[in-house]
Structure 1
Amino acid sequence: MVRVFVRFMLFVRLMAMLSLLPMVVQAAVPLVNCGVPLTLAGPAQRIVTLNQQATEALVAIGAGQKVVGQAYQDDRPAARWAERYNAIPVMAEEYPNPESLLATAPDLLVAGFASAFSDWGVGARQRWLNYGTNSYLFESACAAQTVTLEGLYRDMTHLGQLTGHQQQATSWIAEQQQRLSQIRWPESQRKPKVLLWLRGYDLPYVAGCCGAGNLLIEQAGGINIAADLPKSWGHLSWETILSRQPDLILMVDSNWSSFSQKETFLSGALYARHLNVMSTGQRHPIAFSEVMAGVRLPDGIERAHHWFRAWQP
């Protein structure tokens, strides 16, 4: 009888251990991100985010409490999570130096832009892997490729896996898919020609063919007048812009190139008087974080769609 009981208890323990196997295996499966492998023994516990885009993504899926430091703020955070976002210590105005970053003992670095892992950022990802620190770079910042919503959803899925917030990431994705499914452009209405102006003045830096800016314009129902630029963002002369006469200009409002700065420039530029949007008033501010491939891109798409629908040909 004792022997049977012992065998039964061993069986129960074995089954309990087996029930944990999927979790262990899932955590140990290497994830290859932009060509760099990541393998964590378990969910990351000490994360440093190197761009606002990354910080907001983790806050959005409830992993903000695991972020021990953030860097490179581009604009104001979304009001819905501003309190949680602002509670995270800011390590540097731009990228922190490697020494101060090492002092935080991070187990995961997350960045939205490849510059984070450049020589003027925090250094190469392989270097941090040698230190025992994993890193994740948003798919939109990998080698040249067209930015898609599916790529953003993959990023959120991976961040959910890396932080142990898979359920929250899945819920976030489902919510955005539902939101964006409501945006439709009437077949009977002409689509507006749109310029998305990021920065630069005498030679504007604008959304080209393949990045999040172009994705925003197309998803919102517009036509990007700079879609022939063979890159995500690039320079377009004012002469070309005048020849294409955008129906609307979306002006990115950031900490380093504000909407008001762009308005001031246009008010003093002699050629600007020939832009139709100067008389129609179709110049609109849009946050930097809403035109990047992050969690606020759906906000930007909704906002742009509202302006596009209100525009009258």
Structure 2
Amino acid sequence: MRTALAAAALLLVSGCGATVAQDTSATDPVTVTNCGQQVTFDEVPSKVVTNDTGITELMFALGLKDRMAGYVVDGDNTVDLQTSPWKADFDSTRKLADKISKEVVQGANADLVFAGWNYGFSESTGFTPDALKQLGIGSYLLTESCRNGAGKQRGIMPALDALYTDLRNLGKIFRVEAKAEELVQSYRRRIENAGKLMAGKPRPKVFLYDSGQDQPFTSGRNAAPQDIIGKAGGDNVFGDLDDSWTTVNWEAVVQRAPDVVLIVDYADGEANTPAQKQAFLEGFAPLRNSPAIKNKRFYSLPYAALVEGPRNPASVEAFAKYLAQV
């Protein structure tokens, strides 16, 4: 659908204490590359449904709250909402459901769904971009979640590059390119400055512990923790895995002898707080001789800070400060 009115207009969109000049007069289609596919938007989406905290915060950071029909966030992710720099935007935007589905987005009269593989999209549930296309609803996939051609493995570029790619793509789609570029350059400066805290110091080996007691769920080299850990001055012990978020085995964790454990703060059904996850790791016999366990080197960040999203630069800063002290 093409914009009916060609008259010049600027819409001021509120965004976390600021307003963003949005050019709604543009009538030319915009094409971006999303997960290797060329996607064309004939007009600016106006009823976007987002899935997950970090994805929703990308919209808020760009000042696009007024372009949203609502968001979907798991009810267990209360820490994310309570700690969000965009809490006021969450409070004033409609939460549609705990789990995304075709019925949820149809009920919101969505014209675009912003989600990702394992961030809402899944063949097992039947909620896929192809299924939405059949309903006349467009999709934009989080770049961190793009599949890389090896089965269902995810990740086609470094995680922070994925963040910058999505910001710039969304800037084009919603005609807020100046704001998007402002954010990208600001994030780059913050991350560069944070990296100076560990300059010249030994790089500790870091194990990202998301969840799982039978088998740990962690980050390969294509998920956001890879760059958060790396830019903060550490090395992800599973940075050799060509995948995003993935399951490994405890034997591999023990063999890689992490110096620090970075814990994801969210409820997983087995250990619902960072303290409970730390207690499990400290009581897990195979890990007792790992440097991180012996020296009690644990640090936690909220889930939304460790998936692709606008909290990533602050995560690098916070973790770099921690590493510089251990």
Q: What range describes the TM-score normalised by the shorter chain of this pair?
A: 0.7 to 0.9
Tell me how far apart the structure 2 counterparts of residues 279 and 265 of structure 1 sit (CA, whole Å): 14
Residues 213 and 232, structure 1, Cα contact 8 Å, conserved in 2: no
Q: Tell me, yes or no, if the aligned pair for 1:53 and 1:111 is still in contact at 8 Å.
A: no
| 1:210/1:98 CA distance change after superposition, 3 Å | closer
Give the 3 Å change call, closer, same or farther, for CA 114–237 of structure 1 in structure 2: closer
C-alpha spacing 1:36/1:107, structure 2 compared with 1 (3 Å): farther
Q: Does 1:166 align with 2:177?
A: yes
Residue equivalent to 1:13: none
2:187 to 163, 176, 183: 176
Following superposition, the deviation at residue 36 of structure 1 comes to 4.7
RMSD: 2.6
* Aligned match of 2:214: 202
> Structure 1: which 4+ aligned runs deviate by more than 4 Å?
none
- Residue 23 (structure 1) aligned to one of 23, 26, 38: 26
Give the drift of 1:115.
4.9
1:69 is matched with which residue? 70
Kindly provide the CA deviation profile for residues 179-221 of structure 1, in whole angstroms up to 9, marking residues without a partner as x: 1121335553211111111111232122223322212111111
Conservation of the 8 A alpha-carbon contact between 1:43 and 1:161: no
Deviation string, structure 1 residues 86-143 (Cα, Å, up to 9, x no partner)? 2222222122x31232121111111144552324456221332333322101111112
| Bigger share in helix | 1
SS of the residue 1:140 aligns to = helix
Distance 1:30 1:146 in 2: 20
Larger Rg: 1
Q: Which residues of structure 1 form unaligned runs of 5+?
A: 1-15
The TM-score, its normalising length taken from structure 1, stands at 0.83
Cα distance change on mapping 1:227 and 1:39 into 2, 3 Å: closer
The residue matched to 1:106 in structure 2 has which SS? Answer: coil
- The residue aligned with 1:6 is none
Name which of structure 1's ranges 71-80 and 53-62 shifts more when overlaid on structure 2. Answer: 71-80
Task: Out of 56-65 and 138-147, give the one that drifted further.
Answer: 138-147
Quickly say closer, same or farther: Cα 1:171–1:121, change in 2 above 3 A: farther
Aligned residues: 291
Question: Percent same amino acid at aligned positions?
Answer: 24
Provide the C-alpha distance between the structure 1 equivalents of 2:214 and 2:134, rounded to a whole number of angstroms.
44
Q: Is the 8 A contact 1:38 1:134 kept in 2?
A: no
Q: Does the 8 A contact of 1:225 with 1:244 survive in 2?
A: yes
Is 1:115–1:121's contact at 8 Å kept on the other side of the alignment?
no
Provide the C-alpha distance between the structure 1 equivalents of 2:242 and 2:43, rounded to a whole number of angstroms: 40
Partners in 1 of 2:186 and 2:90 — Cα distance? 21
CA distance in 2: counterparts of 1:306 and 1:264, whole angstroms:
24
Distance in 1 separating the partners of 2:265 and 2:241:
22
Q: Map of 1:98-113 to 2, 5 A cutoff? A: 98-113=102-117
Q: Greater strand share, 1 or 2?
A: 2
Check 1:34–1:24 CA distance in 2 against 1; reply closer, same or farther (3 A cut). Answer: same
Q: Name stretches of at least 5 consecutive residues in structure 2 with no aligned partner.
A: 1-6, 9-22, 149-155
